[in-house]
């Protein structure tokens, strides 16, 4: 019998304009034969893409930390999509440098990775992590 693992991914952002981004997190859980045995997902949708909000919504409407756990599995594949719904408030590139997000990954409660990643303010990003 293969060892069952539960993976936990935590995405954290302290960027002041984080409210300009929608986030989707997905996880496929697989057995030792690479058959998918579970799927989990979470999302934070602040606004429809292209809405062009001029000010941040109420802080209670968005979270600075999002967490997703896998089903018990042999290995997992996490996908994270960070998509701007509103363009940056500044139009000059030198004032819209990439911002940082923190990505922490744990397996069965033990931290495996702690990464700082850059996100382009104009295009957002997509992140994939295969965990075994």
Does residue 77 have a pLDDT over 90?
A: yes
Q: What pLDDT, on a 0 to 100 scale, did the predictor assign at position 11? A: 97
pLDDT tens-digit series, residues 42-63: 999 999 988 888 888 876 667 8
Please give the Cα distance from 69 to 91 (Å, whole number): 37
Q: What is the pTM of this model?
A: 0.91
- Token pair belonging to 99: 């911002």
pLDDT tens-digit series, residues 15-35: 999 999 999 999 999 999 999
Please give the Cα distance from 3 to 93 (Å, whole number): 48
Burial of 62 (0-12, 13-18, 19+ CB in 10 A): buried
Considering only CA atoms, give the Rg of the chain.
16
- Strands across the sheet containing 36-44: 36-44, 21-30, 75-84, 125-131
Q: What pLDDT, on a 0 to 100 scale, did the predictor assign at position 93? A: 85
């Amino acid at each position: 019998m293969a060892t069952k693992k539960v993976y936990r991914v935590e995405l954290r952002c302290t960027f002041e304009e984080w409210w300009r981004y929608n986030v989707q997190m997905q996880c496929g859980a697989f057995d030792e034969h690479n058959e998918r045995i579970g799927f989990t997902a979470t999302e934070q949708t602040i606004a429809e893409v292209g809405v062009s909000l001029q000010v941040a919504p109420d802080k209670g409407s968005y979270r600075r930390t999002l967490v997703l756990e896998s089903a018990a599995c042999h290995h997992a594949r996490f996908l994270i999509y960070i998509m701007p719904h509103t363009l940056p408030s500044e139009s000059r590139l030198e004032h819209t440098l990439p911002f940082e997000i923190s990505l922490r990954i744990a397996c069965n409660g033990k931290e495996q990775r702690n990464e700082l990643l850059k996100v382009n303010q104009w295009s957002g990003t997509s992140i994939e992590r295969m965990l075994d």
